[in-house]
Chains A and B, each alone.
Chain A
Amino acid sequence: MSERPDRPARRDWPLWEIFVRSRRGLSHTHVGSLHAPDAEMALRNARDLYTRRQEGVSIWVVPAAQIVATSPDEKDAFFDPAADKIYRHPTFYDIPEGVDHL
């Protein structure tokens, strides 16, 4: 069962994050992840796993280890600066009745 007794530290292939463009004109969207030994296999496996019903016309695979993310812990402080700037939204402004195209 333990197929790699010589290397117990990592028995799973690296994890890849999969992004699929569902059709032309749309951006790639994250759809899930999978394990694969290399990028080419990741692409083939992603095709079989995430586009069995023609869900995509293009696939990106990204090594999960290469993605840098904000920490959930920092969330409040990190995103705080935008919280008190509601004037960035058009709905912030009062416009007199009868003004069109604004």
Chain B
Amino acid sequence: MYGNDFGSAPEPVERAQTASEEELEAAFQAIIDGDGRIEPRDWMPEAYRKGLVRQIAQHAHSEIIGMQPEGNWISRAPSLRRKAILMAKVQDEAGHGLYLYAAAETLGVERADLLDMLHTGRQKYSSIFNYPTLTWADMGAIGWLVDGAAIVNQVPICRCSYGPYARAMVRICKEESFHQRQGFEILHTLSKGTPAQHAMAQDAVDRWWWPSLMMFGPSDAESTHSAQSMRWGVKRFTNDELRQRFVDMTVPQAEVLGLRMPDPDLRWNAERGHYDFGDIDFDELTRVIKGNGPCNAQRMAHRRRAHEEGAWVREAADAYAAKQVARTTPQSTPEAVA
């Protein structure tokens, strides 16, 4: 899927010596303008490489941290069926994180460094995972709304100009659609259940609707990365376009569920052909991104603890591999495994 192209990945290659920076950049932009794909060992502007590392790593971290809010409910799922489904979903999130870390590594960063940057707060993950999962209905709201928003964000990235990221995204999008459907099914079941179950479903939607809209990032007027990302084919649509698409898709689904979005200003605008919706509290988004959401500290502490407590497993696997090599090639030292 990634295709490291094998060789010291992103060394600004030898060609750089024979062509000027302008020529290289023109050739690079020509590939993108022709809807071609950039592969790992192609020349690329440093800002393109850095921007992609930041974006892909943040995306990978989000998948990994995203296991926590749902992992919280595996042991309390209401049936064996729901439990098996939830485990499969959380396992998918781990897989998605691994696809994305591998894609980031094709840009010349190491997995261990990316994890360090997550653990020390130098790289971010999606703000949505800093909200708590208070009831079982939250599993439904996350699948339907959070994964739904993620899909709207991710589908255009399947056509991202950077090949390894686009290929990872194709695989992820295929797997995400089950995530969204299982969430919808949970809410549908609850909403058509007892009054208490219906209320629980409504409460979950009340809490997850606005944070889901924030997943698309700041409004276009405030977004800092958009213009260059568009020119480089990393981004295909603006934050506000994607947010509108999500609202338009989701509101009719809420009607089927028999649930209301917590927004008095939400209504169909026949003239625009879109739903109008109320103002988003972007101060809340900023607060959560800066580390002051309800669960930021808990998520990070858990991630660091899981990593530290797994150290002995990684060391044991290393030691075993070294021993196997030493047995089959008696003269080589364990260091040779490296």
Listed in ascending order, the chain A residues whose CB lies under 8 Å from chain B are 1-4, 7, 9-15, 17, 30-35, 37-38, 41, 48-49, 52-53, 64, 67-69, 71-73
The chain B residue sitting closest to A10, CB to CB, is B338
Interface string of B19-54 (1 = CB under 8 A from A): 000000000000000000001011000000000000
Q: Which of A34, A41, A53, A72 contacts B42 (CB 8 A)?
A: A72
- Contact size range, B: 35 or more
How many angstroms from the CA of A71 to the CA of B16 in the assembled complex?
A: 14
Residues of chain A with a CB closer than 8 A to B240's CB = none
List 7 tightest A-B contacts by C-beta distance, closest first: A32-B1, A11-B112, A37-B321, A38-B321, A69-B6, A37-B317, A3-B311
> Chain B residue with minimal CB distance to A53?
B175
B1 touches A31 (CB 8 A): yes
- Is the CB–CB distance between A71 and B116 below 8 Å? no
Q: A34-B102, A37-B318, A73-B14 are in contact. Are A49 and B41 (CB under 8 A)?
A: no
CA distance in complex: A2, B315 (Å): 12
Inter-chain contacts of B115 with A (CB < 8 A) = 1
Interface hits, B43-82 → A, CB 8 Å = none
**Interface SS of chain A: helix, strand, loop or mixed?**
loop
List residues of chain A with CB within 8 A of the CB of B308: 1, 3
* Contact status B4-A30, CB under 8 Å: no
B287 interfacial contact with A, CB 8 Å = no
> Which residue of chain A is the closest to B110 with respect to CB atoms?
A12
Most buried by B among A10, A14, A30, A33: A33
Residue pair B116, A2 in contact (C-beta under 8 Å): yes
Offer 21 A-B interface pairs, CB within 8 angstroms, sorted by A: A1-B116, A1-B120, A1-B308, A2-B112, A3-B308, A12-B111, A13-B317, A30-B1, A30-B3, A32-B167, A32-B171, A33-B102, A33-B105, A34-B102, A38-B324, A41-B317, A49-B95, A49-B98, A52-B91, A52-B92, A73-B15
Chain B residue nearest to A7 (CB atoms) is: B338
Q: Is B13 positioned at the interface, with any CB of A under 8 Å from its CB?
A: yes
Task: Output the nearest chain A residue to B95 by Cβ-Cβ distance.
Answer: A49
Q: Do the beta carbons of B320 and A72 come within 8 Å of each other?
A: no
